[in-house]
């Protein structure tokens, strides 16, 4: 079956990223759910069982519905419409979630005499989390329908979608736990991942032309592009070097080579090594000569300078807010609001 030549359907990477962010958001919402319910029902194993169970129910129903609608309507607008509804719902959870929990508890306290916490927690999960996760559950079967061109490569395509979903789920597990919830709290975490889903919807509505440096690439050049795994490995080079430098301080057997690991693990040195690897594997190995590499490096300075300008501007604003006292006032206000929300 040939795919319709329509909009985002022509871009498999966009579909894979949709799967990635959907998987990430599901796990982030699951972890956020435990934080939202904890003040009212605790964070015991029973509550976690209820959260995981209701989410699995929602995802299963979403998979079934998504598969049926994908067969009937091969229109990505319907899928991304469901994603934006899920994003809006998730964004509203930190605003109205606690009131829904209190309302359900008030209704059940007069009607349930046994296992009140279990029943109330289950009902709260069903009302608050099942609908948005049901909508996110429709993503995978719909994307399978959109991304499969023919039966010859459908296994590879489905496997790639599954990999993107799993990687997104892994990131969606670690980022809320170790980064966003400790840094900005549960409420802002819900808003962050709702914003990620919103961005996937906006991406289907706003179309921009490719940069000149990219649009100049012809079909014959696209065939010579490096492997995706090569690009990922080059990106991981500085991270691996920095990680080795850090681990060398805690592993006695690495004491003899610790100075070397700490030198190559210095962020500045690690990034230079990554650049040299990119110049060789993405340049020389692809047939570029020295003059062509120089032009590519020259063109890369412009976006790099823009990024540095934004970072520098942000640093200046940070010091202005800190020195005038606004930073401390804003921090105190936000933490007080988060404490009330939790």
Count of beta carbons in the 10 Å neighbourhood of residue 185: 20
Residues 6+ apart with CB under 8 A from 190: 29, 32, 90, 91, 93, 94
- In three-state form (DSSP H/G/I as H, E/B as E, the rest C), the secondary structure along 47-85 is HHHHHHHHHHHHHHHHHHHHHHHHHHCCCHHHHHHHHHH
Which candidate, 5, 19, 34, 46, places its Cα nearest to that of 128? 34
Question: Is 70 within 8 Å of 140 (Cβ atoms)?
Answer: no
Per-residue confidence of the chain (342 residues) as pLDDT tens digits?
Answer: 444 445 555 667 788 888 888 999 999 999 999 889 998 888 888 999 999 999 999 999 999 999 898 888 877 888 888 999 999 999 999 889 989 999 999 888 888 878 888 899 999 999 999 999 999 999 999 888 888 776 667 788 888 888 888 888 888 888 888 888 887 788 888 888 888 887 766 666 666 665 555 555 444 454 467 777 888 888 888 889 988 888 888 888 888 888 998 999 888 898 899 889 988 888 888 888 888 888 888 877 777 777 778 777 777 777 777 778 776 776 676 666 556 555
Which pair of tokens denotes residue 39? 């003040």
Instruction: Give the distance from CA 164 to its chain's centroid.
Output: 10
**Cβ proximity of 129 and 100 under 8 Å:** no
pTM of the model: 0.62
> What pLDDT is stored for residue 333 in this prediction?
66
Burial of 63 (0-12, 13-18, 19+ CB in 10 A): middle
**Contact 129/29 with Cβ under 8 angstroms?**
yes
| C-alpha distance from residue 225 to each of 148, 228, 275, 286, 288 (Å) | 22, 9, 18, 8, 12
Q: What is the pLDDT of residue 48?
A: 92
Cβ-contact 18, 200 below 8 angstroms: yes
The secondary structure element, H or E, covering residue 162 is helix 154-175
Q: What is the pLDDT of residue 335?
A: 67
| Cα 225 to Cα 290: distance, rounded to the nearest angstrom | 18
User: Which pLDDT does position 93 carry in this prediction?
Assistant: 92
Do residues 160 and 14 touch, judged by C-beta distance below 8 A?
A: no
């Amino acid at each position: 079956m040939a795919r319709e030549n329509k909009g985002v359907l022509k871009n498999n990477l966009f579909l894979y990223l949709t799967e990635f962010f959907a998987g990430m958001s599901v796990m982030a919402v699951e972890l956020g759910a435990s934080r939202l319910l904890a003040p009212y029902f605790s964070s015991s194993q029973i509550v976690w069982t209820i959260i995981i169970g209701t989410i699995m129910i929602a995802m299963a129903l979403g998979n079934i519905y998504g598969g049926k609608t994908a067969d009937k309507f091969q229109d990505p607008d319907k899928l991304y419409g469901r994603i934006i509804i899920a994003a809006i719902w998730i964004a509203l959870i930190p605003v109205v979630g606690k009131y829904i929990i209190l309302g359900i508890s008030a209704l059940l306290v007069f009607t349930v005499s046994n296992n009140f916490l279990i029943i109330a927690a289950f009902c709260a999960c069903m009302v608050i989390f099942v609908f948005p996760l049901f909508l996110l559950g429709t993503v995978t079967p719909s994307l399978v329908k959109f991304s499969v061109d023919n039966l010859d490569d459908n296994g590879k395509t489905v496997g790639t979608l599954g990999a993107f979903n799993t990687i997104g789920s892994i990131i969606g597990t670690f980022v809320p736990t170790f980064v966003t919830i400790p840094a900005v709290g549960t409420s802002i975490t819900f808003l962050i991942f709702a914003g990620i889903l919103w961005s996937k919807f906006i991406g289907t509505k706003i179309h921009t032309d490719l940069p000149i440096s990219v649009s100049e690439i012809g079909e014959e050049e696209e065939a010579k592009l490096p492997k995706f795994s090569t690009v990922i490995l080059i990106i991981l080079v500085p991270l691996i070097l920095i990680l080795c430098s850090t681990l060398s301080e805690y592993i006695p057997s690495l004491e003899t080579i610790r100075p070397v690991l700490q030198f190559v693990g210095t962020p500045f040195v690690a990034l230079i090594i990554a650049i040299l690897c990119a110049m060789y594997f993405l340049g020389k190995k692809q047939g570029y000569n020295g003059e062509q590499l120089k032009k590519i490096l020259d063109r890369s300075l412009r976006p790099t300078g823009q990024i540095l300008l934004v970072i520098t501007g942000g640093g200046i604003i940070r010091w202005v807010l800190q020195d005038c006292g606004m930073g401390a006032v804003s921090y105190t206000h936000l933490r007080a609001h988060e404490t009330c929300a939790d």
